[in-house]
Amino acid sequence: MVNDIKYLENLAKKIRLKILDIVTRAKSSHLGCSFSIVEILIALYYEILDITLENWNLANRDRFILSKGHACASLYTILWQKGFITETILDTYCQNGSPLAAHPSLGAIPGIETSTGSLGHGLSIGCGLAYTNKLNNIDKKVYVLIGDGECNEGAVWEAALFANHYQLNNLIVILDRNRLQGYGYTEEIIKLDPLHTKWESFGWNVLRVNGHDIITLVKTFKTIQNNEGPTIIIADTIHGRGIDFFENQLEWHYHSPTQDEFIKARDALI
């Protein structure tokens, strides 16, 4: 690993704290699903992805699509840490006049690969980018982070067929398996399990990891550098991870912290 694990683990705390801060101030929502992907984003942006502010306008670089666009408070915060935006911009999150909407928009700031927010779109777009790289002989990878609830969308499975048919071994999907969606637990709303065999039967390489274990995430990403066909990593995560009273609580998909809750959550993080 390029970075010390302690540094990255501290960074995860720092990022959660900042997300908590901007979401609270914006009286916004989606804390739970933003917290579940923090380690995934750190592993990608600090150890795996060849994406920098300097190469952002070039074709010859990796691509990252946050298909579950509603968790973009996490992405914006990582982009701040990586120098794509200033803290002043980040602090405008969801405020009047800000470039940072609650669902990311192409062109609003550098670092946003494509506009997302409507679920079930990102994987098809990722397929298009991965296929372009094949046609243009660009040896770079396309990473798409999707939600588990998002797999309710039929378009995800259309794209899954495409990626297998064209053997897109430059496409890597991370599935944030936090087990909560709009109205409750995924398995109670519309059954997804066995997710592993579903994706396998679509012809994908399927790996399963603890989505909060940065070392394992990085190792896993590195093992799939030369696979045949597309790969999906099912990352078991905890919705609201990092703050005990957020964890696995659906209300933190919607709720904006009060000042008291903010202080309590902040203290739990520190």
Partner 1 sequence: MRTAFVEELTNIVKKDKDVILITADMGYSVFENFKKQFPQNFINIGIAEANMVGVAAGLCLGGKKIFLYTFVPFGIMRCFEQIRVDVCYQNLNVNIIGLGGGITYGKEGSTHQAIEDIALMRSLSNMIVLCPGDPIETKALIHEVIERDGPSYIRIGKAGEPKIYTPEQKFTIGKNIKLNNGKDGTIFTTGNMLASAKRLVAQLQQEGINLNLYQVHTIKPLDKSVLNDELGKFVFTIEEHSEIGGLGTSIAELLYENKIYLPFFKISLPDTFIKEVGTQEYLRDIYGLSVNKMRDRILSEIKNLL
- What are the phi and psi torsion angles at 232 (to 5°)? -120, 135
233 binds partner 1 (CB under 8 A): no
Q: Are 111 and 84 in contact (CB under 8 A)?
A: yes
Smallest separation (angstroms) from partner 1 to the CB of 82: 20
What's the min distance (Å) between Cβ of 125 and partner 1? 4
Half-sphere exposure of 199 (CA within 13 A, CB side): 23
Question: Interface with partner 1 includes 161 (CB under 8 A)?
Answer: yes
Which x/- pattern, by CB under 8 A, does the window 30-69 give for partner 1? -----------------------------x----------
Q: In this structure, are residues 142 and 194 in contact, taking their beta carbons and an 8 Å threshold?
A: no
Q: Which C-beta is closer to partner 1: that of 39 or that of 113?
A: 113
Q: Work out whether 125 is an interface residue with partner 1 (CB under 8 A).
A: yes
Applying CB under 8 A, the span of 87-95, 102-110, 172-180, 233-241 interacting with partner 1 comes to: 102-110
Sheet strands (E) in the chain:
63-66, 142-147, 171-177, 180-181, 184-185, 205-210, 231-236
Cβ neighbours for 244, distance < 8 A, ≥ 6 positions apart: 268
- Report the interface residues with partner 1, using CB under 8 A: 59, 105-107, 113-115, 117-118, 120-121, 123-133, 135-136, 154-155, 158-159, 161-162, 165
